[in-house]
């Protein structure tokens, strides 16, 4: 028979467990961002749980704070940084022009508040600015402003006015957000996230410039630079991949006139000409919406479809402006190896094409003008081809005009096998570089077995296109090298003909 004291203890434990409230389920709904209709069949994932919305767009997930992802056919994927809000608005992948017009019209009605000098929450200097009075001194001469453009603000103070209900910023909730994260949280809510890449990039330039100039002015509110409503720019914790990629592609860039930041104003339809005197024939004949100053949102899309890039679009809408600032840094660029197509064996003097496939995992795009494949230490490479290479250390740029962050791109390189007196494995450590930044990303080795012209024929089976697993795989463990430059091993050494396939590509994860 159990001891009475043990029975009492067991009952107490049971009562304690029963008194603790069970975790509450977290419920939400997924709707169309344009018409508000429920989205049935959307997949909602968070903290390892995946559920599907019912015909009313509703879902239930286990309680807990975690990032949420929502995916539905015909819509752009959405990622929310936390669970603070339970309504998810998905943007259609191919919305009609009429639906976009209606959406922009709603935004314009809210944007009227952006220039309201009677907002009681404004700081005194911001109220003066909105009334057209001179801005306070925020940094001195043009030289000081240009210096600031090379060092954009790392973060911005955002008053979460849309969710805290406070009457002033100093009584409200202030989130300090990295500047680029802020732009990524505004772009899908002020622009049209399904529009073209260059339209989104132009939008990110305007949004960033608007925020940047308010930071430099000391903030729009006493305790915050901006709020998260249409009185400033609509910010949410939602992200879309396409919009975030556009932000990364323009990171640190702003629109300036004579070295000073422009206002960054924008509206839906500015007409032709705009209020700033810009000839805009692609917007001629459309109903004018908004104040007509700065960038025309519909115009940014029309010009991009007409072949203009984001730099042209930004300079077009702000007379006399250029895009500058945010000098690229080495950590803006990064790469990941994907694949290599290269011959395993060549004879001295023989030419061949080598194709590298690399993924852009940095914050800025690779361009045909600025990005090159080169030797990791800048020294001459034995595979230098005097016809195709820029110089004996610099091979080529990307095959396409640009590769945006998140895209995989190819670099096709023509090489010439060096002169050798005996068979040997020739290895060239390579990496990417960008003008003004230098080398970036990992170093990877191109290794090819080179036979002398008068020597025996190549070993059978050494066909073109041999590749190896960069993690060891078929090629064995990565080979450590001392320093950079190019190396060769005689045919009788450990990297001789029998080790040919293994050396076709040796991946080295160490960054130079």
pLDDT single digits (tens) 233-263 = 999 999 998 999 899 888 889 999 988 899 9
Give residue 317's pLDDT: 97
Closest CA to 114 of 263, 319, 215: 263
Q: Under 8 Å CB-to-CB from 34, ≥6 apart: which residues?
A: 91, 92, 95, 99, 100, 102, 103
Burial (Cβ within 10 Å: 0-12, 13-18, ≥19) of residue 141:
exposed
Percent of the chain with pLDDT over 90: 62
What local confidence, expressed as pLDDT, does residue 106 receive?
93
Average pLDDT, rounded, for the chain: 83
Question: pLDDT digit string (tens) for 322-356?
Answer: 888 666 667 778 999 999 999 999 999 999 999 99
| 461-485 mean pLDDT | 37
Question: Under DSSP, is residue 205 helix (H, G, I), strand (E, B) or coil?
Answer: helix
Q: In the chain, pLDDT over 70 holds for what percent of residues?
A: 79
Q: Give the least confident one: 38-42, 177-181, 293-297, 506-510.
A: 506-510
CA 360 remoteness from chain centre: 10
Residues with Cβ < 8 Å from 391, sequence gap 6 or more?
none
Place of tokens 């076709």: 504
Peptide bond into 265 cis (omega under 30): no
Count other Cβ atoms within 10 Å, centred on residue 494.
12
Whole-number CA gyration radius for the chain: 29
Are 177 and 183 contacting, i.e. CB atoms less than 8 angstroms apart? no
Q: What does the pLDDT read at residue 397?
A: 87
Element (H, E) at 297: helix 297-305
The whole-number pLDDT of residue 332 equals 77
Instruction: Work out the pLDDT band at 203, boundaries 50, 70, 90.
Output: very high
pLDDT at residue 3, rounded to an integer: 60
pLDDT at 285 over 60: yes
Residue 227 vs residues 33, 158, 176, 272: alpha-carbon distances, Å: 22, 5, 11, 32
Stronger pLDDT, 21 or 57, i.e. the higher one: 57
Q: Judging by DSSP bridges, how do beta strands 174-178 and 238-239 pair with one another?
A: unpaired
Q: Judge if pTM exceeds 0.85.
A: no
Helix, strand, or coil (residue 468): coil
pLDDT band of residue 63 (cuts 50, 70, 90) is confident
- Per-residue confidence band for 230, with pLDDT thresholds at 50, 70 and 90: very high
Q: What is the pLDDT of residue 292?
A: 93
Yes or no: say if 294 and 317 are a contact pair by the CB < 8 Å rule.
Answer: yes
Confidence of residue 460 (pLDDT cuts 50, 70, 90): very low
Tallying the residues shown for the chain, one arrives at 512
From residue 469, alpha-carbon distances to 264, 356, 444, 500 in Å are 48, 14, 12, 14
Q: What is the pLDDT of residue 148?
A: 57
Between helices 297-305 and 197-216, what is the axis angle to 10°?
Answer: 140
- Give the pLDDT mean for 492-504: 36
Q: How far apart, in whole angstroms, are the C-alpha atoms of residue 432 and residue 394?
A: 10
Q: Calculate the alpha carbon distances from 407 to 51, 245, 364, 401 in Å.
A: 29, 10, 11, 13
- Alpha-carbon distance 376 to 512, whole Å? 7
Q: Tell me if residue 209 falls in helix, strand or coil.
A: helix
Whole-number pLDDT of residue 463: 44
Domains and CATH numbers, the chain: 23-90 (2.60.40.1120), 97-324 (no CATH), 330-508 (2.60.40.10)
Q: What is the mean pLDDT of residues 53-61?
A: 96
Location of structure tokens 């000081």: 144
Q: Is the model's pLDDT at 472 over the cut of 90?
A: no
In a 3-state reduction of DSSP, which class is residue 239?
Answer: strand
* The two structure tokens encoding residue 3: 């001891």
């Amino acid at each position: 028979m159990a001891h009475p004291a043990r029975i009492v203890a067991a009952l107490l434990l049971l009562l304690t467990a029963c008194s603790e409230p069970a975790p509450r389920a977290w419920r939400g709904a997924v709707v169309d961002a344009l018409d508000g209709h429920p989205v049935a069949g959307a997949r909602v994932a968070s903290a390892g749980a995946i559920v599907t919305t019912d015909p009313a767009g509703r879902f239930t997930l286990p309680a807990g704070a975690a990032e949420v992802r929502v995916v539905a056919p015909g819509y752009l994927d959405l990622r929310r940084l936390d669970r603070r809000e339970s309504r998810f608005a998905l943007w259609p992948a191919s919305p009609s022009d009429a639906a976009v017009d209606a959406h922009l019209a709603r935004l314009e009605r809210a944007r009227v508040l952006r220039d309201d000098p009677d907002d009681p929450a404004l700081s005194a200097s911001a109220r003066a600015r909105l009334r057209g009075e001179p801005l306070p001194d925020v940094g001195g001469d043009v030289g000081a402003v240009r210096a600031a453009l090379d060092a954009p603000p790392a973060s911005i103070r955002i008053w979460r006015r849309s969710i805290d209900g406070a009457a002033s910023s100093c009584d409200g909730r202030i989130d300090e957000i990295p500047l680029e994260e802020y732009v990524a949280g505004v772009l899908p809510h002020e622009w049209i996230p399904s529009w073209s890449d260059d339209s989104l990039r132009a939008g990110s330039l305007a949004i960033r410039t608007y925020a940047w100039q308010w930071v430099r002015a000391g903030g729009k509110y006493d305790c915050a630079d901006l709020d998260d409503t249409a009185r400033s720019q609509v910010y949410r914790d939602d992200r879309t991949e396409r919009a975030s990629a556009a932000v990364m592609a323009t990171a640190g860039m702003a629109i300036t006139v004579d070295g000073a930041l422009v206002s960054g104003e924008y509206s839906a339809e500015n007409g032709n000409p705009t209020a700033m005197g810009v000839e805009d024939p692609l917007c001629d004949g459309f109903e004018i919406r908004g104040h007509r100053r700065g960038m025309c949102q519909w115009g940014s899309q029309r010009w991009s479809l007409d072949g203009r890039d984001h730099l042209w679009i930004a300079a077009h809408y702000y007379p006399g402006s250029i895009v500058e600032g945010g000098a690229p840094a080495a950590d803006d660029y990064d790469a990941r190896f994907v694949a290599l197509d290269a011959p395993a064996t060549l004879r001295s003097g023989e030419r061949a094409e080598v194709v590298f496939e690399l993924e852009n995992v940095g914050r800025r795009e690779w361009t045909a003008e600025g990005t090159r494949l080169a030797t990791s230490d800048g020294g001459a490479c034995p595979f230098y081809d005097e016809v195709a290479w820029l110089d004996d250390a610099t091979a080529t740029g990307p095959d396409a005009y640009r590769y945006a962050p998140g895209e995989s791109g190819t670099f096709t390189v023509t090489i010439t096998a060096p002169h050798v007196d005996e068979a040997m494995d020739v290895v060239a450590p390579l990496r990417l570089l960008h003008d003004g930044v230098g080398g970036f990303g990992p170093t990877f080795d191109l290794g090819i077995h080179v036979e002398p012209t008068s020597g025996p024929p190549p070993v059978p089976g050494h066909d073109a296109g041999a590749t190896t697993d960069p993690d060891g795989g078929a090629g064995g463990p990565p080979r450590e090298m001392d320093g950079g430059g190019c190396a060769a091993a005689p045919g009788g050494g450990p990297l001789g003909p029998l080790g040919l396939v293994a050396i076709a590509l040796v991946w080295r994860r160490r960054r130079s």
